[in-house]
């Protein structure tokens, strides 16, 4: 039995929440890597140590949100997953290489040999991979939003259903590279780095224990906020020509105006809170701002997963699968949510942060 | 190299790499928890040191396992979009459950690694138990997904598309129980003996080192029972394959003819063109007896199936010989350990036994790789046995040799680094003996 629109929409909303969790949590872990790369000034080592201490206990759990999104996509919307995997093969592979190098290098640095030179080398790999991964992730999202991925898929013969072979007359470049490599997608990629760096810097103002370090990250958060604004504005300028569907959706969707307003309020709130040094308020506002940007994208391209032809409805798995998935999700959440709450209480509550670095297995 | 072969090779490299780390992630937490529990019970700080050192090694291996597992979850689509489009709605369920189990594992591993002084002793130990249990649960679910590819269930075909999809029936596929049992035992046996082997080598150098004595004992507690039980689980798996995947069984055994009272072949090289297996030691009635528990049972040979449905016979046969041969060897070493311990003799000072354990150190992992070759190559040319050919599942993107080479190079690089880091970790192990003062402070207060 086919799934009802309400059912596929609810599953899609859960996917969006999981993606939001990935962006807010793992995104900030990648952002931490960005600040490792750009660590400067007299407190350079202290900045790096704080980043490492902040992400150490939680980055692997945060990373699993991505796996949840992937599993959700291929279980509940299999043709959409297959289509994206075909058209975005190259950037997704690059993103995976970034994910592998980031995670491995972090583990090698923190649990491996305590000697100085390898530590620095792994730190460098960790930092560079932390910048490249969100860049490629952003490019993929930009490419989907622009509608070019969907158009390329149609030409590969995977648009509506059934398998197809690559049309020999179409060049490799036109089908598998050009759709995701445009000035628009590059700007979205840069914006993603800026957003993740912004989140990380704001969170780190809460986690820093001395005021000088806190000021370092306050300045970094403000700089990242500026970078977000510049890249977002640039992407918006390019979107009418390079991502027309996106730009229409951002203006025409029923949800567009309220979401834009909420994003604006949250952004002003975050910057105002940073300015007046209200760290906890800044953290909530920054997370809200980034979430509203993500929701804005989702609303702009709803009901499409891959515009212009793969929708929630025409790619949804049968009703039975979706219902069972919701049941599994509920059961999983009963185990997962208390566990996550426990993890963050142990390492991120105010008392835990005041207590300072615990007994991580790090070499410091 | 054609695109299909490149895609298959990339999948093989990715799976072959990931499985090593996944297996460690399943079994190592059990060793850590036993060491920590003994420390909390006896107050012997050597056990604490052991738990912390093992945790450090596990942290490295788990991280590589987590990211290489992420690669696999994407590669299902990147390489096999035709498969995922067909199967996503049917076998997404075990993957989702695996996702939750893995989530739990990652959460409590974070608590375990970084929480030594932040939570109570009991809570810390419980976190370790959660890591061990959720590690086993994620193996359970992900192997169920693989089992479905061997014995697809839970749907009907209508005009080339699956209908009446029943994800629960898909999870209860006949291959699930034998495969899960075999993989879990393999994880404990391989990891237990790998760790035991390392400490056995160290004990051969420094027989009095208490640290290595305790480590050896715990590793063997995990490895020995699993290695002894594994041949029994192998029998369950073999009978499953005989019944449900006759072409795989025929390839494993190099059985070309259909015959009653088929012999068991040990070793040998299948000659596909001549349709016979040369140079094998043949045990009369052995195969019929093992596969069907009846010496006169008819075993269908490859000749009973169209040639285009044969898996690559020599690869499957040789891999199967490697797995069963080395697996038997491991089981024999395990029996030797069990008998020695039962006679109340000290394993840690039994030098020839220590040598055997040292030699057995990599054996379990070789068996696991060979076993996955048997199950995956033996399923060819199908990605879903009898339903979808691998060639019909591959991505239409050309040039797949490039990602194959890139991923292979990346994994080679990481493999070398991991081996070097673990070597470094083992070599820095404490040299003192029992009762010679406190453990080095750099360990207990590592921060």
For A129-159, how does the pLDDT look when each residue is reduced to its tens digit (9 = 90+)? 999 999 999 999 999 999 898 888 888 865 4
What is the least distance, in Å, from the CA of A50 to any CA of chain B? 13
Mean pLDDT for all residues in chain A: 88
Q: What's the pLDDT score for residue B375? A: 96
Element containing residue B383 per DSSP (H, E)? strand B382-384
Q: Tell me if B55 and A355 make a contact (CB, 8 A cut-off).
A: no
Q: What's the pLDDT score for residue A249? A: 76
Domain count, chain B: 1
Q: Nearest-CA neighbor of B61 among B422, B386, B388?
A: B422
- Top residue of B62, B64, B71, B114 to mutate, by most chain A CBs within 10 Å, is B114
Residue that has been written with the tokens 């149609």 in this structure: A154
Band of the pLDDT at A362, cuts 50, 70, 90? very low
Q: Which domain holds residue B289?
A: 224-394
> Percent of chain B at pLDDT above 70?
96
In whole angstroms, give the CA distance from residue A199 to residue A177: 30
Dig out the tokens for A216 from the structure. Answer: 């370092």
Longest Cα pair distance anywhere in chain B, in angstroms?
75
Q: B161 in helix, strand or coil?
A: strand
Q: Tell me if A157 and B396 make a contact (CB, 8 A cut-off).
A: yes
Q: Tell me if A163 and B392 make a contact (CB, 8 A cut-off).
A: yes
Instruction: For strands B259-260 and B161-163, give the pairing.
Output: unpaired
Answer yes or no: is pLDDT of B442 > 60: no
Instruction: For strands A310-311 and A304-306, give the pairing.
Output: antiparallel
Answer yes or no: is pLDDT of B142 > 90: yes
Mean pLDDT for all residues in chain B: 92
Residues of chain B in contact with residue A77, where contact means CB-CB under 8 angstroms, are 88
Residues B30-44 have pLDDT tens digits of 999 999 999 999 999
Q: What's the pLDDT score for residue A245? A: 77
Query: Quick check: A341 contacting B, CB < 8 Å?
Result: no
What is the least distance, in Å, from the CA of B67 to any CA of chain A? 5
Answer yes or no: is pLDDT of A161 > 60: no
Residues A225-266 have pLDDT tens digits of 999 999 999 988 888 888 887 777 777 777 778 888 999 999
Residues of chain A in contact with residue B158, where contact means CB-CB under 8 angstroms, are none
Strongest mean pLDDT among A193-197, A332-336, B414-418, B437-441: A193-197
Band of the pLDDT at A357, cuts 50, 70, 90? low
Residues of chain A in contact with residue B119, where contact means CB-CB under 8 angstroms, are 346
Strongest mean pLDDT among A167-171, A240-244, A302-306: A302-306
Q: What's the pLDDT score for residue B13? A: 97
Band of the pLDDT at A160, cuts 50, 70, 90? very low
- Residue of chain B whose Cα is closest to the Cα of A95: B71
Query: Quick check: A237 contacting B, CB < 8 Å?
Result: no
Nearest CB partner across the interface for B167, out of A99, A321, A358: A321
In whole angstroms, give the CA distance from residue B226 to residue A126: 38
Give the residue with greater pLDDT, B314 vs A117: B314
In whole angstroms, give the CA distance from residue B177 to residue B312: 26
Residues B268-312 have pLDDT tens digits of 999 999 999 999 999 999 999 999 999 999 999 999 999 999 999
Q: What's the pLDDT score for residue A364? A: 32
> Percent of chain B at pLDDT above 90?
88
Segments in chain A forming alpha helices (H): 5-21, 27-37, 44-55, 59-76, 78-87, 89-111, 116-146, 148-156, 172, 183-207, 211-242, 244-252, 256-275, 279-301, 312-315, 319-348, 350-354
Least confident of A31-40, A191-200, A250-259, B338-347: A250-259
Asked, for residue B4, whether it belongs to a domain, the answer is no
Asked, for residue B24, whether it belongs to a domain, the answer is no
Q: What's the pLDDT score for residue A158? A: 57
Q: Tell me if A325 and B417 make a contact (CB, 8 A cut-off).
A: no
Answer yes or no: is pLDDT of A305 > 50: yes
In whole angstroms, give the CA distance from residue A197 to residue A39: 12
Instruction: Name the DSSP letter for residue A26.
Output: I
What is the least distance, in Å, from the CA of A13 to any CA of chain B? 17
The burial class, CB within 10 Å (0-12 / 13-18 / 19+), for B306 is exposed
Q: Tell me if B92 and A325 make a contact (CB, 8 A cut-off).
A: yes
> Percent of chain A at pLDDT above 90?
59
Band of the pLDDT at B373, cuts 50, 70, 90? very high
Nearest CB partner across the interface for B118, out of A63, A108, A346: A346
Answer yes or no: is pLDDT of A112 > 80: no
Averaged over A190-204, what is the pLDDT? 96
Query: Quick check: A345 contacting B, CB < 8 Å?
Result: no
- Which residues, in sequence order, are CB contacts of B289 under 8 Å at separation 6+? B264, B295, B297
Give the residue extent of every domain in chain A.
Answer: 5-354
């Amino acid at each position: 039995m086919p799934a009802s629109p309400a059912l596929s929409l609810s599953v899609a909303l859960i996917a969006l929440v999981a993606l939001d969790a990935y962006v807010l949590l793992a995104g900030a872990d990648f952002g931490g890597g960005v600040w490792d790369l750009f660590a400067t000034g007299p407190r350079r080592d202290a900045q790096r140590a704080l980043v490492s201490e902040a992400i150490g206990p939680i980055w692997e759990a945060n990373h699993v949100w991505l796996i949840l999104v992937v599993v959700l996509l291929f279980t509940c919307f299999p043709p959409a997953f297959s289509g994206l995997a075909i058209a975005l093969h190259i950037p997704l592979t690059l993103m995976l290489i970034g994910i592998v190098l980031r995670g491995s290098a972090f583990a090698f640095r923190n649990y491996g040999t305590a000697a100085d030179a390898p530590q620095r080398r792994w730190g460098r790999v960790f930092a560079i991979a932390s910048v490249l991964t969100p860049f490629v992730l952003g490019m993929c999202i930009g490419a989907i939003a622009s509608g070019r991925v969907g158009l390329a898929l149609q030409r590969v013969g995977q648009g509506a259903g059934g398998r197809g072979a690559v049309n020999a007359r179409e060049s490799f470049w036109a089908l598998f590279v050009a759709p995701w490599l445009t000035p628009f997608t590059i700007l979205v990629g840069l914006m993603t780095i800026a957003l993740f760096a912004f989140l990380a810097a704001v969170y780190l103002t809460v986690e820093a224990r001395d005021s000088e370090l806190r000021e370092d990250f306050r300045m970094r958060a403000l700089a990242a906020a500026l970078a977000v604004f510049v890249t977002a504005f640039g992407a918006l300028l390019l979107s009418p020509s390079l991502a027309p569907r996106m730009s229409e959706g951002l203006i025409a969707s029923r949800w567009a105006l309220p979401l834009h307003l909420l994003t604006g309020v949250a952004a002003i709130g975050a910057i105002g809170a940073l300015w007046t040094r209200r760290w906890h308020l800044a953290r909530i506002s920054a997370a809200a701002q980034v979430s509203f940007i993500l929701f804005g994208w989702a609303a702009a391209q709803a009901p499409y997963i891959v515009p212009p032809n793969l929708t929630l409805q025409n790619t949804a798995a049968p009703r039975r699968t979706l219902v069972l998935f919701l049941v599994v999700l509920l059961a999983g959440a009963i185990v997962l949510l208390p566990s996550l709450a426990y993890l963050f209480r142990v390492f991120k509550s105010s008392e835990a942060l005041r207590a300072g670095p615990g007994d991580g297995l790090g070499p410091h | 190299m054609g695109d299909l072969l490149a895609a298959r090779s990339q999948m093989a490299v990715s799976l072959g790499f990931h499985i090593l780390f996944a297996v460690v992630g399943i079994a190592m937490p059990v060793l850590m928890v036993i060491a920590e529990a003994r420390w909390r019970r006896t107050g012997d700080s050597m056990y604490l040191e052991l738990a912390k050192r093992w945790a450090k090694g596990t942290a490295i291996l788990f991280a590589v396992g987590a990211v290489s597992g992420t690669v696999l979850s994407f590669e299902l689509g990147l390489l096999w979009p035709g498969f995922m489009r067909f199967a996503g709605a049917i076998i997404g369920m075990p993957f989702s459950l695996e996702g939750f189990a893995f989530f739990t594992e990652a959460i409590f591993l974070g608590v375990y690694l970084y929480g030594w002084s932040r939570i109570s002793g009991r809570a810390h130990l419980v976190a370790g138990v959660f890591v061990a249990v959720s590690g086993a649960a994620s193996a359970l679910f992900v192997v169920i997904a693989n089992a479905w590819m061997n014995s697809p269930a839970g749907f009907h075909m209508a005009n080339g598309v699956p209908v009446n999809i029943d994800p629960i029936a898909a999870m209860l596929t006949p291959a699930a129980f034998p495969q899960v049992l075999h993989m879990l035992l393999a994880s404990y046996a391989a990891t237990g003996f790998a760790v035991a082997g390392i400490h056995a080598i160290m004990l051969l150098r420094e027989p009095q080192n208490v640290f290595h004595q305790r480590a050896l004992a715990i590793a063997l507690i995990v490895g020995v029972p699993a290695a002894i039980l594994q041949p029994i689980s192998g029998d369950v798996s073999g009978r499953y394959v005989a019944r449900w995947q006759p072409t795989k069984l025929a390839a494993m055994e190099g059985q070309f003819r259909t015959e009653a009272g088929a012999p068991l072949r040990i070793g040998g090289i299948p000659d596909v063109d001549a349709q016979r297996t040369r140079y094998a030691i043949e045990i009369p009635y052995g195969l019929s007896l093992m596969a069907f528990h009846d010496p006169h049972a008819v075993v269908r040979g490859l000749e009973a199936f169209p040639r285009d449905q044969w898996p690559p016979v020599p690869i499957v046969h040789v891999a199967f010989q490697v797995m069963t041969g080395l697996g038997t060897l491991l089981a024999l070493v395990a029996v030797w350990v069990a008998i020695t311990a039962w006679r109340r003799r000290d394993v840690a000072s039994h030098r020839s036994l220590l040598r055997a354990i040292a030699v057995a150190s990599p054996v379990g992992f070789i068996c696991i790789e060979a076993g996955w070759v048997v199950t995956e190559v033996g399923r060819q040319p199908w990605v879903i046995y009898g339903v979808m050919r691998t060639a019909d599942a591959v991505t239409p993107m050309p040039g797949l040799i490039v990602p194959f080479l890139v991923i292979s190079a990346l994994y080679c690089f990481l493999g070398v680094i991991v081996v070097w880091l673990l070597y470094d970790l083992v070599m820095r192990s404490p040299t003192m003996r029992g009762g010679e003062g406190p453990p080095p402070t750099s360990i207990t207060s590592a921060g």
